[in-house]
């Protein structure tokens, strides 16, 4: 049986206590998208700035549990400075790790390594928490769509 | 109006007559009650009622109030300003359900830690979003106590919360 140490890894707690890239961006030019989990009440407001096909900046606001907040924090670090295609590939790779998307072999670009995000792997053992980890990613996906990127 | 309403389901007990070219329905309410009635459920319900009556609802309520008093006092004594318990402090004005916020930990993190220690609580907005918004709470942890619980369960809840403090360390 998976234990709490599988879920609450130190790096996750670090991002929870000290979330990176919190805040807002001016819209326009930024795109603002709100995401929420109706089951648990977690909310995220994602601010995305895409410039010349690159994710120039991402800021997040909102509230939620340690898993949703740390996932959002690590996500911003994983995608800022990446091309939009790379960002989408990271989203896919992350959701594959969360076992909610199959692996595509025809990915247009190689997904960058997940790095710190690997720490969230343990979440898969706690199925009710997967939605917490994925909230920010779904919201980013929607923001990329709305930004026309 | 009920006579005009077509039945949702066909099945046993809702039929008046069946022919090759159609069927007619039994009168209301049988026409809406197709299939095997909830016989097992009714027998189970009867057994539950007998059980509760043998103990006495007044005694059950007394037990519930005693446990709730013990829980409110234990939680407040052990955690003081670190816990915010919603609702009145007078146990005669509340049932055996306690919704609370613990430090600034998210209820789902609290419930996850309690779950590890075999303490089952509910976390979330409890299908009461307008109320939660009114209270300014995003979600709460909710512990329920009843006939099956005793003081040791409350102690386990308190110990579990202390454990949450250790894990998150904030």
- What is the C-alpha separation between A46 and A114, in angstroms, rounded? 20
Please indicate whether, in this complex, the C-beta atoms of A39 and B124 are within 8 angstroms of each other: yes
**Same domain, yes or no: B76 and B24:** no
**Same domain, yes or no: B39 and B62:** no
**Residue from the list A4, A43, A65 with its beta carbon closest to the beta carbon of B167:** A4
**Residue from the list A4, A17, A41 with its beta carbon closest to the beta carbon of B124:** A41
Closest CA to A69 of A16, A22, A17: A16
Which has more confidence, B145 or A11? Answer: B145
- Report how many domains make up chain A: 1
Q: Which domain holds residue B37?
A: 15-55
Contact assessment for residue A135 and residue A74, using Cβ atoms and an 8 Å cutoff: no
Q: Is A16 on the interface with B (CB under 8 A)?
A: yes
**Same domain, yes or no: B158 and B84:** yes
**Residue from the list A8, A40, A132 with its beta carbon closest to the beta carbon of B167:** A8
The rounded Cα B169 to chain-centroid distance in angstroms is 31
In 10 A of CB B135, how many CB atoms?
13
State the ipTM, two decimals.
0.74
**Same domain, yes or no: B98 and B129:** yes
Least confident of A32-36, A103-107, B59-63: A103-107
Q: Across chain B, how many H-helices and E-strands are there?
A: 5, 6
Residue A84 token pair: 């939009």
Substitution target in B129, B133, B138, B163 with the highest count of A β-carbons within 10 Å is B138
Which run of H or E residues covers position A112?
Answer: none
- What is the C-alpha separation between B117 and B114, in angstroms, rounded? 5
Residues of B assigned a catalytic role: 127
Please indicate whether, in this complex, the C-beta atoms of B109 and A65 are within 8 angstroms of each other: yes
**Same domain, yes or no: B64 and B142:** yes
pLDDT tens column, A114-138? 778 888 888 888 888 899 999 999 9
Contact assessment for residue B115 and residue B164, using Cβ atoms and an 8 Å cutoff: no
List residues of B whose CB lies inside 8 A of any A CB: 105-109, 112-113, 116, 123-125, 129, 132, 138-139, 167-170
pLDDT tens column, B106-142? 899 999 999 989 999 999 888 888 998 898 888 899 9
Question: What stretches of A5-119 adopt beta strand conformation (E)?
Answer: 31-36, 43-51, 54-63
Q: Which domain holds residue A121?
A: 4-146
A43-51 and B140-144: which strand pairing? unpaired
Find the CATH number of the domain harbouring B126: 3.90.1150.10
C-alpha torsion sign, points A118, A122, A125, A126: negative
**Same domain, yes or no: B83 and B62:** yes
Contact assessment for residue A4 and residue B116, using Cβ atoms and an 8 Å cutoff: yes
Substitution target in A2, A4, A7, A125 with the highest count of B β-carbons within 10 Å is A4
Residue B58 token pair: 């007044």
**Same domain, yes or no: B72 and B34:** no
Q: Is A8 on the interface with B (CB under 8 A)?
A: yes
Please indicate whether, in this complex, the C-beta atoms of B106 and A66 are within 8 angstroms of each other: yes
**Same domain, yes or no: B133 and B87:** yes
Is pTM beyond 0.95? Reply is no
């Amino acid at each position: 049986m998976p234990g709490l140490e599988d879920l609450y890894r130190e790096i996750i707690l670090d991002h929870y206590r000290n979330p990176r890239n919190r805040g807002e961006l001016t819209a326009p030019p930024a795109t603002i998208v709100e995401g929420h989990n109706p089951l648990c009440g977690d909310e995220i407001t994602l601010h995305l700035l895409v410039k010349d096909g690159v994710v120039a900046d991402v800021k997040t606001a909102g509230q939620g549990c340690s898993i949703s907040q740390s996932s959002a924090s690590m996500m911003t670090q994983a995608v800022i400075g990446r091309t939009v295609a790379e960002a989408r590939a990271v989203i896919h790779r992350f959701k594959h790790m969360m076992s909610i998307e199959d692996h595509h072999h025809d990915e247009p670009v190689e997904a960058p390594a997940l790095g710190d995000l690997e720490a969230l792997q343990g979440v898969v053992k706690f199925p009710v928490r997967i939605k917490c980890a994925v909230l920010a990613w779904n919201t980013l996906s929607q923001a990329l769509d709305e930004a026309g990127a | 109006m009920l006579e005009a309403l077509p039945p949702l389901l066909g099945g046993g007990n809702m039929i008046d007559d069946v022919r090759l070219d159609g069927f007619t329905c039994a009168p209301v309410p049988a026409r809406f009650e197709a299939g095997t009635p909830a016989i097992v459920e009714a027998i189970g319900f009867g057994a539950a009622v007998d059980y509760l009556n043998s103990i006495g609802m007044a005694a059950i309520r007394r037990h519930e109030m005693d446990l709730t008093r013990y829980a409110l006092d234990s939680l407040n004594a052990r955690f003081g300003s670190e816990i915010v318990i919603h609702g009145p402090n007078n146990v005669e004005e509340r049932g055996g359900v306690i919704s609370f916020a613990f430090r600034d930990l998210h209820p789902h993190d609290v419930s996850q830690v309690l779950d590890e220690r075999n303490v089952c609580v509910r976390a979330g907005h409890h299908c009461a979003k307008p109320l939660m918004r009114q209270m300014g709470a995003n979600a709460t942890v909710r512990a329920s106590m009843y006939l099956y619980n005793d003081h040791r369960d409350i102690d386990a809840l308190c110990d579990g919360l202390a454990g949450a403090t250790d894990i998150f360390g904030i």
